[in-house]
Chains A and B, each alone.
Chain A
């Protein structure tokens, strides 16, 4: 398997613009997670899906952030409008039945977002 795929790898945009990050999880994985990582705050869970259904979005910073998972092989994280404080690395991760045993999360390479 190719692992978790994210695009784009780097995104530079101006404040106020819409940003869409994309993720393809590992085939067969039931759970998909969106994280944000910064030096100041470390790794933060934004939202996660189970079988394409959003389970917990309490980590989404505000209404400017939205995430969808229209099918088992694709998810998007959208920021509209973007702000400089959104600059971070955004990771997508997937795992098998996340409630069980040692099912670890597999991370994608991340999208480095810079908002100027």
Chain B
């Protein structure tokens, strides 16, 4: 079967750095996405990786290792507004997105 694993919840301090991991087992791989979802709102796109390595976008970076079935989202200089759920999604061989359950990130002052 297809499976995406993420920690359920993480806590970090304002101004710090946090890494959210995602491991996946899917039938094929055609890219990995990270989405942010604030409580009561829709998911919004953060990043996309299809090749191994690090993609940096401002305070957020995303890393992919296809051989290990592993990705992480790195958030730097955390702000209170970063409190949200972070969803990892993998596009499989049928080009469908398989979604993880999401990681709820709590930022404390």
Chain A contacts to B: CB under 8 angstroms? 42-45, 48, 56, 91, 98-99, 101-102, 104-110
When A102-B48, A104-B33 are in contact, do A42 and B43 touch as well, CB less than 8 Å?
A: no
The contact of B42 among A48, A98, A110, by CB within 8 Å, is A110
Known pairs A43-B43, A43-B87. 9 more at Cβ < 8 A?
A42-B100, A43-B99, A43-B102, A98-B95, A99-B30, A102-B48, A107-B43, A109-B42, A110-B42
Number of B positions contacting A (CB below 8 A): 19
B44 proximal to A (CB < 8 A):
yes
Task: Give the A-B pair count, Cβ closer than 8 A.
Answer: 38
CB distance from B16 to the nearest CB of A (A): 27
Check A105–B45 contact: CB distance below 8 A: yes
Check B95–A45 contact: CB distance below 8 A: no
Check A91–B101 contact: CB distance below 8 A: no
Chain B, residue nearest A44 (CB): B99
In whole angstroms, how far apart are the Cα atoms of A44 and B41 in the complex?
16
Check B96–A42 contact: CB distance below 8 A: no
Which residues of chain B from 47 to 100 have a CB within 8 Å of any chain A CB?
48, 50, 87, 94-97, 99-100
A-chain residues with CB within 8 Å of residue B50 when the two chains form the complex: 101-102
A-chain residues with CB within 8 Å of residue B42 when the two chains form the complex: 91, 107-110
The contact of B41 among A45, A98, A99, A109, by CB within 8 Å, is A109
